[in-house]
Amino acid sequence: MATIPTPHIGAQKGEIAQTVIMAGDPLRAKFMAESYLDDPVLFNEVRGMLGYTGTWQGKRVSVMGHGMGIPSIGIYTYELFNFYDVQTIIRVGSAGAYDPDLKLGDLILAMGACTDSNYGAQFGLPGTFAPIADFGLLQGAAEACERLGIRYKVGNVLSSDVFYSDNPQSDKWMKMGVLAVEMEASALYMNAARAGRRALVINTISDHILTGEVTTSEQRRTTFTKMMEVALSLV
């Protein structure tokens, strides 16, 4: 087993806060650190996966990238939970809407995460595990959205292993009431469950499967600030 620093995180003991807010794009983490944190200090740049620790309204918090897809977030969150004693991880990421009522910029609080990934097979369970959010974090995020006047929905997302599908079947997930597709929530929720820790995924709608609407990479990096503020309210 690895010790700290780990193969993927160069931080020393004590350099990472017990609450970490994570984004797929490390430059979004950098934007969060520079825009919201007081006195942010870089603790990781291994493989370009930037991580910073600072304070938000006097509370210590870290922000860090996790890369794209279940294997990537699976590695980073495992190391954070199991080697750095992180207690809470909140992912702030983008998602493609399935629900016709969702608009670009709306938030989804991922209560559960379906998946087409085989990630959960490693646990050897005699059935199908249902990855879910921590209820306290979920409730707090919903209350923050109400308080801040942010449009949001609570429900199921799909964490898919495939971005460019040779056989897209979005309609089948839509029939089951899945709100949107992203690529990481289920692995985060499984790792949190296995480690006995807390996790929540907050997604901003970056594109819409039904309407074809899309946002740019720059918009996704610097204008999706509502989910950042909701996440920070939970620190």
Identify whether 207 is a catalytic site residue: yes
* Residue 171: φ, ψ to 5°: -60, -30
- How far is C-alpha 167 from the geometric centre of its chain's CA atoms? 26
Which stretches of the chain are DSSP H helices?
26-36, 70-83, 135-148, 170-175, 185-195, 217-222, 225-233
Q: Using CA atoms, how far apart are residues 50 and 27, in angstroms rounded to an integer? A: 7
Burial (CB count <10 Å: 0-12, 13-18, 19+), residue 65: buried
Cis peptide before 100 (omega within 30 of 0): no
Phi-psi region at 21: left, alpha or beta (left = phi > 0; alpha = psi -120 to 50): beta
Annotated catalytic residues are 207
